[in-house]
Protein backbone atom coordinates (compact mmCIF):
# COMPACT_ATOMS: atom_id res chain seq x y z
CA UNK A 1 0.00 0.00 0.00
CA UNK A 2 2.77 2.35 1.10
CA UNK A 3 4.66 1.42 -2.05
CA UNK A 4 1.63 2.25 -4.23
CA UNK A 5 1.26 5.64 -2.54
CA UNK A 6 4.94 6.40 -3.06
CA UNK A 7 4.72 5.48 -6.74
CA UNK A 8 1.61 7.67 -7.12
CA UNK A 9 3.38 10.58 -5.42
CA UNK A 10 6.41 10.14 -7.65
CA UNK A 11 4.21 10.06 -10.75
CA UNK A 12 2.43 13.23 -9.61
CA UNK A 13 5.75 14.96 -9.00
CA UNK A 14 6.92 13.89 -12.44
CA UNK A 15 3.78 15.20 -14.15
CA UNK A 16 3.99 18.49 -12.23
CA UNK A 17 7.67 18.75 -13.11
CA UNK A 18 6.93 18.19 -16.78
CA UNK A 19 4.16 20.78 -16.78
CA UNK A 20 6.41 23.33 -15.08
CA UNK A 21 9.31 22.52 -17.38
CA UNK A 22 7.09 23.24 -20.36
CA UNK A 23 5.86 26.46 -18.83
CA UNK A 24 8.70 28.53 -17.52
CA UNK A 25 12.11 28.56 -16.03
CA UNK A 26 12.16 30.29 -12.64
CA UNK A 27 10.47 33.66 -12.85
CA UNK A 28 10.66 33.88 -16.63
CA UNK A 29 7.44 33.45 -18.59
CA UNK A 30 6.17 33.43 -22.12
CA UNK A 31 4.57 36.79 -22.96
CA UNK A 32 5.95 38.74 -19.98
CA UNK A 33 5.50 42.06 -21.84
CA UNK A 34 1.85 41.52 -22.76
CA UNK A 35 0.00 44.66 -21.62
CA UNK A 36 3.18 46.27 -20.24
CA UNK A 37 3.75 48.64 -23.15
CA UNK A 38 0.34 50.21 -23.59
CA UNK A 39 -1.33 48.81 -26.69
CA UNK A 40 2.01 48.08 -28.34
CA UNK A 41 3.14 44.50 -28.86
CA UNK A 42 6.77 44.38 -27.78
CA UNK A 43 7.62 41.10 -29.52
CA UNK A 44 6.00 42.28 -32.77
CA UNK A 45 8.05 45.49 -32.65
CA UNK A 46 11.26 43.53 -32.24
CA UNK A 47 10.21 41.16 -35.02
CA UNK A 48 9.80 44.19 -37.32
CA UNK A 49 13.36 45.34 -36.64
CA UNK A 50 14.85 41.86 -37.00
CA UNK A 51 12.96 41.10 -40.21
CA UNK A 52 14.25 44.31 -41.81
CA UNK A 53 17.79 43.49 -40.69
CA UNK A 54 17.54 39.88 -41.82
CA UNK A 55 16.42 40.89 -45.31
CA UNK A 56 19.53 43.09 -45.55
CA UNK A 57 21.88 40.50 -44.06
CA UNK A 58 20.74 36.92 -43.32
CA UNK A 59 23.98 36.19 -41.42
CA UNK A 60 22.52 38.09 -38.46
CA UNK A 61 21.14 34.74 -37.30
CA UNK A 62 24.68 33.49 -36.69
CA UNK A 63 25.65 36.77 -35.04
CA UNK A 64 22.70 36.72 -32.65
CA UNK A 65 23.01 33.03 -31.74
CA UNK A 66 26.64 33.48 -30.78
CA UNK A 67 25.87 36.75 -28.98
CA UNK A 68 23.26 35.00 -26.84
CA UNK A 69 25.61 32.10 -26.07
CA UNK A 70 28.47 34.43 -25.06
CA UNK A 71 26.09 36.50 -22.95
CA UNK A 72 24.42 33.59 -21.15
CA UNK A 73 27.64 31.70 -20.39
CA UNK A 74 29.22 34.66 -18.60
CA UNK A 75 27.33 35.99 -15.57
CA UNK A 76 24.05 34.56 -16.89
CA UNK A 77 21.75 35.98 -19.56
CA UNK A 78 21.93 39.56 -18.28
CA UNK A 79 23.12 41.46 -21.38
CA UNK A 80 26.48 42.06 -19.67
CA UNK A 81 28.18 41.40 -23.01
CA UNK A 82 26.55 44.53 -24.48
CA UNK A 83 28.24 46.99 -22.13
CA UNK A 84 30.93 49.24 -23.61
CA UNK A 85 34.08 50.08 -21.68
CA UNK A 86 37.82 49.56 -21.68
CA UNK A 87 37.58 46.52 -19.41
CA UNK A 88 34.12 45.18 -20.24
CA UNK A 89 33.32 41.61 -21.40
CA UNK A 90 33.30 42.54 -25.08
CA UNK A 91 37.01 43.47 -24.97
CA UNK A 92 38.32 39.92 -24.43
CA UNK A 93 39.68 37.96 -27.44
CA UNK A 94 36.84 35.38 -27.79
CA UNK A 95 34.34 38.28 -27.87
CA UNK A 96 36.18 40.41 -30.43
CA UNK A 97 34.51 38.56 -33.31
CA UNK A 98 31.07 38.61 -31.68
CA UNK A 99 28.65 40.60 -33.84
CA UNK A 100 25.14 41.95 -33.54
CA UNK A 101 25.45 44.76 -30.99
CA UNK A 102 24.01 47.27 -33.48
CA UNK A 103 20.98 45.02 -34.08
CA UNK A 104 20.16 45.01 -30.38
CA UNK A 105 20.63 48.81 -30.33
CA UNK A 106 18.01 49.11 -33.07
CA UNK A 107 15.56 46.82 -31.30
CA UNK A 108 16.12 48.82 -28.11
CA UNK A 109 15.48 52.12 -29.92
CA UNK A 110 12.17 50.76 -31.22
CA UNK A 111 10.90 49.60 -27.83
CA UNK A 112 12.18 52.65 -25.94
CA UNK A 113 10.31 54.82 -28.39
CA UNK A 114 7.05 53.05 -27.54
CA UNK A 115 7.54 52.58 -23.80
CA UNK A 116 10.75 53.80 -22.19
CA UNK A 117 12.34 51.79 -19.40
CA UNK A 118 10.19 48.68 -19.78
CA UNK A 119 11.98 46.13 -21.95
CA UNK A 120 15.34 44.73 -20.85
CA UNK A 121 18.30 44.35 -23.17
CA UNK A 122 18.67 40.77 -21.95
CA UNK A 123 15.16 39.97 -23.22
CA UNK A 124 15.85 41.76 -26.50
CA UNK A 125 18.77 39.39 -27.15
CA UNK A 126 16.51 36.37 -26.55
CA UNK A 127 13.61 37.69 -28.67
CA UNK A 128 15.83 38.89 -31.51
CA UNK A 129 17.69 35.57 -31.68
CA UNK A 130 14.43 33.62 -31.74
CA UNK A 131 13.12 35.79 -34.58
CA UNK A 132 16.31 35.41 -36.62
CA UNK A 133 16.30 31.61 -36.15
CA UNK A 134 12.70 31.53 -37.34
CA UNK A 135 13.41 33.73 -40.36
CA UNK A 136 16.30 31.49 -41.38
CA UNK A 137 14.06 28.44 -41.38
CA UNK A 138 15.16 27.03 -38.03
CA UNK A 139 11.65 26.73 -36.64
CA UNK A 140 9.81 28.97 -34.20
CA UNK A 141 9.93 28.57 -30.45
CA UNK A 142 8.15 30.54 -27.74
CA UNK A 143 10.66 32.71 -26.01
CA UNK A 144 10.47 33.31 -22.28
CA UNK A 145 10.89 36.88 -21.04
CA UNK A 146 11.12 38.80 -17.79
CA UNK A 147 14.91 39.07 -17.54
CA UNK A 148 16.50 42.19 -16.10
CA UNK A 149 19.82 43.69 -17.09
CA UNK A 150 23.03 43.12 -15.14
CA UNK A 151 25.05 45.87 -13.54
CA UNK A 152 28.48 44.30 -14.00
CA UNK A 153 30.57 43.59 -17.09
CA UNK A 154 34.19 42.78 -16.39
CA UNK A 155 36.69 41.26 -18.81
CA UNK A 156 38.17 39.02 -16.12
CA UNK A 157 34.79 37.29 -15.66
CA UNK A 158 34.85 35.94 -19.21
CA UNK A 159 35.70 32.28 -19.48
CA UNK A 160 34.31 30.90 -22.74
CA UNK A 161 34.94 27.31 -23.82
CA UNK A 162 37.61 27.03 -26.53
CA UNK A 163 37.11 25.36 -29.96
CA UNK A 164 39.67 22.62 -29.28
CA UNK A 165 38.11 21.15 -26.17
CA UNK A 166 37.05 17.51 -26.02
CA UNK A 167 33.41 16.37 -25.95
CA UNK A 168 33.57 15.51 -22.22
CA UNK A 169 35.01 18.98 -21.54
CA UNK A 170 32.18 20.59 -23.50
CA UNK A 171 29.60 18.50 -21.63
CA UNK A 172 31.18 19.47 -18.29
CA UNK A 173 31.20 23.15 -19.29
CA UNK A 174 27.51 23.01 -20.20
CA UNK A 175 26.66 20.98 -17.09
CA UNK A 176 28.14 23.83 -15.05
CA UNK A 177 25.34 25.97 -16.46
CA UNK A 178 22.62 23.37 -15.83
CA UNK A 179 22.53 22.03 -19.39
CA UNK A 180 22.78 18.31 -20.13
CA UNK A 181 24.71 16.41 -22.81
CA UNK A 182 21.77 16.44 -25.26
CA UNK A 183 21.43 20.22 -24.82
CA UNK A 184 25.15 20.49 -25.57
CA UNK A 185 24.82 18.61 -28.86
CA UNK A 186 21.65 20.50 -29.82
CA UNK A 187 23.12 23.92 -29.06
CA UNK A 188 26.32 23.17 -30.91
CA UNK A 189 23.98 22.63 -33.84
CA UNK A 190 24.05 26.45 -34.03
CA UNK A 191 27.39 26.02 -35.77
CA UNK A 192 25.51 24.82 -38.82
CA UNK A 193 24.57 28.45 -39.48
CA UNK A 194 27.85 30.06 -38.63
CA UNK A 195 30.88 31.53 -40.25
CA UNK A 196 34.21 30.85 -38.69
CA UNK A 197 37.64 32.28 -39.19
CA UNK A 198 39.98 30.33 -41.48
CA UNK A 199 42.45 29.68 -38.69
CA UNK A 200 39.70 27.74 -36.93
CA UNK A 201 39.20 25.49 -39.97
CA UNK A 202 36.46 26.39 -42.41
CA UNK A 203 34.53 29.27 -43.86
CA UNK A 204 30.84 28.67 -43.93
CA UNK A 205 28.53 25.76 -43.55
CA UNK A 206 24.89 25.07 -44.23
CA UNK A 207 22.02 27.17 -43.07
CA UNK A 208 19.11 25.66 -41.22
CA UNK A 209 17.43 24.57 -44.42
CA UNK A 210 20.79 23.13 -45.47
CA UNK A 211 21.54 21.12 -48.52
CA UNK A 212 23.75 18.15 -49.10
CA UNK A 213 22.05 15.89 -46.57
CA UNK A 214 21.29 12.38 -47.86
CA UNK A 215 17.98 12.49 -46.04
CA UNK A 216 16.21 15.85 -46.33
CA UNK A 217 14.58 15.27 -42.95
CA UNK A 218 17.96 14.97 -41.30
CA UNK A 219 19.70 18.02 -39.98
CA UNK A 220 22.84 18.68 -42.05
CA UNK A 221 24.77 19.54 -38.92
CA UNK A 222 24.09 16.12 -37.42
CA UNK A 223 24.89 14.41 -40.71
CA UNK A 224 28.21 16.18 -40.86
CA UNK A 225 28.93 15.39 -37.25
CA UNK A 226 28.23 11.70 -37.85
CA UNK A 227 30.64 11.84 -40.77
CA UNK A 228 33.09 13.62 -38.48
CA UNK A 229 33.00 16.62 -40.76
CA UNK A 230 32.04 19.24 -38.18
CA UNK A 231 33.49 22.70 -38.68
CA UNK A 232 35.30 23.18 -35.42
CA UNK A 233 37.32 20.52 -33.68
CA UNK A 234 34.70 20.38 -30.92
CA UNK A 235 31.96 19.73 -33.52
CA UNK A 236 33.93 16.79 -34.93
CA UNK A 237 34.52 15.50 -31.41
CA UNK A 238 30.76 15.14 -30.91
CA UNK A 239 30.62 12.54 -33.67
CA UNK A 240 33.62 10.59 -32.41
CA UNK A 241 33.40 10.57 -28.63
CA UNK A 242 31.60 7.56 -27.11
CA UNK A 243 29.79 9.96 -24.76
CA UNK A 244 28.16 11.98 -27.52
CA UNK A 245 27.99 9.67 -30.57
CA UNK A 246 24.82 7.90 -29.30
CA UNK A 247 23.17 11.28 -28.65
CA UNK A 248 24.01 12.54 -32.14
CA UNK A 249 22.70 9.27 -33.64
CA UNK A 250 19.46 9.46 -31.66
CA UNK A 251 18.84 13.07 -32.61
CA UNK A 252 19.63 12.37 -36.24
CA UNK A 253 17.24 9.41 -36.29
CA UNK A 254 14.32 10.69 -34.27
CA UNK A 255 14.09 13.83 -36.02
CA UNK A 256 12.61 17.07 -34.98
CA UNK A 257 15.76 19.09 -34.76
CA UNK A 258 14.20 22.60 -34.95
CA UNK A 259 11.79 21.92 -32.06
CA UNK A 260 14.46 20.32 -29.91
CA UNK A 261 16.91 23.08 -30.77
CA UNK A 262 14.33 25.71 -29.76
CA UNK A 263 13.74 24.00 -26.42
CA UNK A 264 17.49 23.95 -25.77
CA UNK A 265 17.70 27.67 -26.64
CA UNK A 266 14.95 28.40 -24.11
CA UNK A 267 16.93 26.44 -21.52
CA UNK A 268 20.13 28.30 -22.35
CA UNK A 269 18.20 31.57 -22.17
CA UNK A 270 17.30 30.88 -18.56
CA UNK A 271 20.87 30.57 -17.27
CA UNK A 272 21.53 32.79 -14.24
CA UNK A 273 18.85 35.32 -15.12
CA UNK A 274 18.04 38.36 -13.02
CA UNK A 275 14.31 38.85 -12.42
CA UNK A 276 11.88 40.79 -10.24
CA UNK A 277 13.72 43.70 -8.64
CA UNK A 278 17.22 42.41 -9.40
CA UNK A 279 19.45 44.39 -11.76
CA UNK A 280 17.77 47.10 -13.81
CA UNK A 281 16.18 47.93 -17.14
CA UNK A 282 18.96 49.78 -18.95
CA UNK A 283 18.15 52.95 -20.84
CA UNK A 284 20.91 52.15 -23.32
CA UNK A 285 22.04 48.56 -23.80
CA UNK A 286 25.65 49.75 -23.93
CA UNK A 287 25.82 51.24 -20.43
CA UNK A 288 24.34 50.74 -16.99
CA UNK A 289 21.94 53.53 -15.95
C1 LIG B 1 31.65 24.20 -26.56
C2 LIG B 1 30.97 25.24 -26.93
C3 LIG B 1 31.34 26.15 -28.06
C4 LIG B 1 32.56 26.44 -28.59
C5 LIG B 1 33.88 25.89 -28.18
C6 LIG B 1 32.34 27.37 -29.67
C7 LIG B 1 33.33 27.93 -30.43
C8 LIG B 1 33.13 28.75 -31.51
C9 LIG B 1 34.16 29.34 -32.31
C10 LIG B 1 35.64 29.16 -32.08
C11 LIG B 1 33.58 30.04 -33.30
C12 LIG B 1 34.27 30.81 -34.43
C13 LIG B 1 34.53 32.20 -33.98
C14 LIG B 1 35.32 33.00 -34.99
O15 LIG B 1 35.32 32.67 -36.16
O16 LIG B 1 35.94 33.97 -34.57
C17 LIG B 1 32.17 29.92 -33.12
C18 LIG B 1 31.24 30.51 -33.94
C19 LIG B 1 29.91 30.44 -33.72
N20 LIG B 1 29.29 29.87 -32.63
FE21 LIG B 1 30.12 28.71 -31.26
N22 LIG B 1 31.01 27.63 -29.78
C23 LIG B 1 30.36 26.91 -28.81
C24 LIG B 1 29.02 26.90 -28.57
C25 LIG B 1 28.10 27.64 -29.25
C26 LIG B 1 26.72 27.76 -28.88
C27 LIG B 1 26.08 27.13 -27.66
C28 LIG B 1 26.14 28.56 -29.82
C29 LIG B 1 24.71 29.04 -29.92
C30 LIG B 1 23.68 28.37 -29.47
C31 LIG B 1 27.16 28.92 -30.77
C32 LIG B 1 26.96 29.67 -31.90
C33 LIG B 1 27.94 30.03 -32.78
C34 LIG B 1 27.67 30.71 -34.03
C35 LIG B 1 26.31 31.01 -34.60
C36 LIG B 1 28.91 30.98 -34.62
C37 LIG B 1 29.16 31.75 -35.91
C38 LIG B 1 29.17 33.23 -35.55
C39 LIG B 1 29.23 34.17 -36.73
O40 LIG B 1 29.11 33.75 -37.85
O41 LIG B 1 29.37 35.39 -36.46
N42 LIG B 1 28.34 28.36 -30.38
N43 LIG B 1 31.92 29.15 -32.03
Give the start-end residues of each E strand in the chain: 29-30, 144-145
Contacts of 234 (CB under 8 A, 6+ apart): 161, 163, 164, 165, 166, 167, 170, 188
Q: Are residues 43 and 62 in the same domain?
A: yes
162 Cα: distance to centroid of ligand 1 (angstroms):
9
- For residues 149 and 33, state if they share a domain: yes
Assess whether 139 and 176 both reside in one domain: no
**Is 170 close to ligand 1, i.e. is its CB under 6 Å away?**
yes
Q: Is 74 exposed, middle or buried (0-12, 13-18, 19+ CB in 10 A)?
A: buried
Q: Which residues span the domain enclosing 189?
A: 167-265
Query: Using the 8-state DSSP alphabet, how is residue 61 labeled?
Result: H
Query: What is the CATH number for 194?
Result: 1.10.420.10
Q: How far is 42 from 208, CA to CA, in rounded Å?
A: 26
Last residue of a domain, one of 159, 184, 202: 159
Q: How far apart are CA 220 and CA 210, in angstroms?
A: 6
Q: Both 83 and 181 in a single domain?
A: no
At residue 209, the pLDDT reads: 45
106 C-alpha to ligand 1 centroid (Å): 23
Domain identity same for 190 and 155 = no
Is there a single domain that holds both residue 154 and residue 182?
Answer: no
In a domain, 274, yes or no: no
Which one of 115, 136, 159 terminates a domain? 159
Same domain flag for 142 and 184 = no
List the one residue out of 53, 133, 142 whose CA is nearest residue 100.
Answer: 53
Residue with the smallest CA separation from ligand 1 atom 23 is 188
- Same domain, yes or no, for 138 and 177? no
Does the annotation place 80 within a ligand binding site?
yes
Residues 133 and 211 in one domain: no
Question: What pairs with residue 31 in β-bridges?
Answer: none
200 lines ligand 1 (CB under 6 A): yes
User: Is 197 marked within a binding site?
Assistant: no
Whether 19 is in a domain gets the answer no
Same domain as 103, residue 66: yes
144: three-class secondary structure by DSSP: strand
State residue 235's pLDDT score.
84
Cα→Cα distances 41→32, 184, 281, Å: 11, 33, 18
pLDDT computed for residue 263 by the predictor: 96
- Please report the pLDDT score of residue 127 as a whole number: 98
Mean pLDDT, the chain cut into blocks of 10 residues (289 residues total): 46 43 67 95 98 94 96 97 98 96 98 98 98 91 98 96 91 97 92 57 43 49 70 82 89 79 96 97 98
For ligand 1, say whether the CB of 262 is within 6 Å of any of its atoms. no
Shortest-distance Cα residue to atom 20 of ligand 1:
66
Catalytic pick among 50, 60, 67, 70: 70
Instruction: Give the CATH number for residue 109.
Output: 1.10.520.10
Of 159, 180, 215, which residue constitutes the final position of a domain? Answer: 159
Q: Is residue 3 part of a domain?
A: no
Residues 137 and 198 in one domain: no
What is the number of structural domains in the chain? Answer: 2
Verify that 143 and 183 share a domain, yes or no.
Answer: no
25 carries an active-site annotation: no
| 83 domain-assigned | yes
Q: Could you tell me which of 121, 64, 66, 126 has the C-alpha nearest to residue 95?
A: 66
Q: Specify the pLDDT at position 196.
A: 52
Domain annotation covers residue 22: no
Amino acid sequence: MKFKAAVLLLALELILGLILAGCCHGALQVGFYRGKCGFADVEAMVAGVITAQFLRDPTIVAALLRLQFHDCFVNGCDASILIDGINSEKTVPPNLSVRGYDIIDQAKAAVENACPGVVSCADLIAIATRDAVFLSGGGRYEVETGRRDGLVSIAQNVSILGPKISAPEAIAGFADKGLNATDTVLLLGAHSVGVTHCSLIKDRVYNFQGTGSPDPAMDPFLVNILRSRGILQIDQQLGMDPLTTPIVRNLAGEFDFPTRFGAAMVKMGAIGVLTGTQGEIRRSCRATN
